[in-house]
Amino acid sequence: MTKFNSLKNQVPLPVRLFLGKALLFFIVWKIIYGVFFFNSNTLDNVLTTHVAESSTFILNNFTSMSGFTSKSEISTEVFGGELNEIKHSGIYHNGYRVLYIADACNGLELIVLYIGFIICMPSKILRKILYIVIGVLLLDFINILRCVGLIYLREYFHAYFQFAHHYLFKLVVYSATFIIWIYYTRKIHLKNESIPV
């Protein structure tokens, strides 16, 4: 135990505070999600539907392509010997599905991770609220553009679709999150936890 205390004391206090807040935020989020959202999937369904509908709106109104529709769907898959219903959204082009948006692709986990970082860093409450609102809107928009880009690649450059889906667009989304975090922390001085105005 003394080794642990000695090791703990070597970690600067601001870092310990951040890690403690992050752990607490993670536990609280998992409890809230597990109790209120996991079985109903309400939050995931709303966000997945929003991403699909927004993507089709942009494709139909702001690109040279048209004829896109989105539809919420339910499929069944076997997990652990049990039959489970999985809700997702499909984007269709002239009646053919061109993109399947699962709940794991709706950006919720990334948004929660982003919010958790902002909450755990020391700053004024109004600055946190401002960065949370702007960051969530920006990350949501980037995720929508990711879906639009995937559809564009599937329609015109199919050979690049898998690479973009698994690597390129993930890099873009995570890089955007990291850049916002860097911009947010530029005025934070962890030594004294003071924030210049």
Indicate the domain borders of the chain. Answer: 13-185
pTM for the structure as a whole = 0.81
- The rounded distance, in Å, linking the Cα atoms of 115 and 95 is 37
DSSP string, 96-153: EEEEEEEGGGSSHHHHHHHHHHHHHS---HHHHHHHHHHHHHHHHHHHHHHHHHHHHH
- Mapping DSSP to helix (H, G, I), strand (E, B) and coil, where does residue 28 land? helix
- Angle made by CA atoms 187, 22, 87, in degrees to the nearest 5: 115
Element (H, E) at 192: none
| Residues 51-101: tens digit of each pLDDT | 999 999 999 999 999 999 999 887 777 666 777 677 789 999 998 999 989
Tokens found for residue 90: 């499909």
| Residues 115-144: tens digit of each pLDDT | 999 998 888 999 999 999 999 999 999 999
| Residues 15-59: tens digit of each pLDDT | 778 888 888 888 888 888 877 776 656 788 889 999 999 999 999
